[in-house]
């Protein structure tokens, strides 16, 4: 799959699930990190980075010493064929779970009593002007 195809797929999924592309990329990174850790011989900790323009992934692996510090940083980016069946299954499960969580978080905002009060009050005229709350990424 080319980076253009991947970009289109991410945008389409974000629109379909009504979540932001950034949120979906974070979900993708979490799923890849979880799948990596299930690989045989995987490092104790991993940081997955994604280039949003090219959709190239980098896996920075770390070992953990006795004190819990991350040591021995190395690039451990696997090839596609190295991830395997278990990693693919884990990736699908984590992606589905994280997308459901992102959708649920979006709906919880609409059920917040403070948000509902603000939304109801927004229809009240103030000197002939109306305040409409169309969308809010987070309620402050």
Q: How far apart, in whole angstroms, are the C-alpha atoms of residue 7 and residue 52?
A: 8
Q: CB–CB of 131/122 below 8 Å?
A: yes
Residues above pLDDT 70, as percent of the chain = 69
> Which is nearest to 58 in space by CA: 48, 45, 44, 70?
48
| 44 backbone dihedrals φ, ψ, rounded to 5° | -65, -40
Q: How many CB atoms lie within 10 A of CB 97?
A: 14
Q: Structure tokens of 71?
A: 């040591």
pLDDT of residue 84: 66
pLDDT in tens, 100-124: 887 777 666 667 777 666 666 655 5
> Which is nearest to 108 in space by CA: 137, 133, 84?
137
């Amino acid at each position: 799959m080319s980076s253009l195809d991947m970009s289109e797929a991410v945008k389409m999924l974000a629109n379909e699930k009504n979540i932001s592309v950034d949120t979906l990329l974070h979900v993708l990174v979490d799923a890849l990190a979880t799948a990596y850790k299930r690989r045989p011989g995987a490092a104790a900790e991993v940081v997955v980075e994604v280039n949003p323009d090219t959709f190239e992934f980098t896996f920075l692996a770390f070992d953990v010493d006795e004190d819990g510090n991350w040591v021995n940083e190395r690039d451990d980016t696997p090839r596609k064929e190295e991830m395997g069946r278990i990693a693919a299954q884990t990736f699908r499960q984590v992606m589905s779970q994280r997308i459901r969580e992102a959708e649920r978080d979006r709906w919880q905002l609409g059920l917040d009593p403070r948000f509902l009060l603000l939304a109801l009050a927004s229809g009240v005229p103030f000197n002939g002007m109306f305040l409409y709350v169309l969308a809010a990424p987070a309620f402050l």
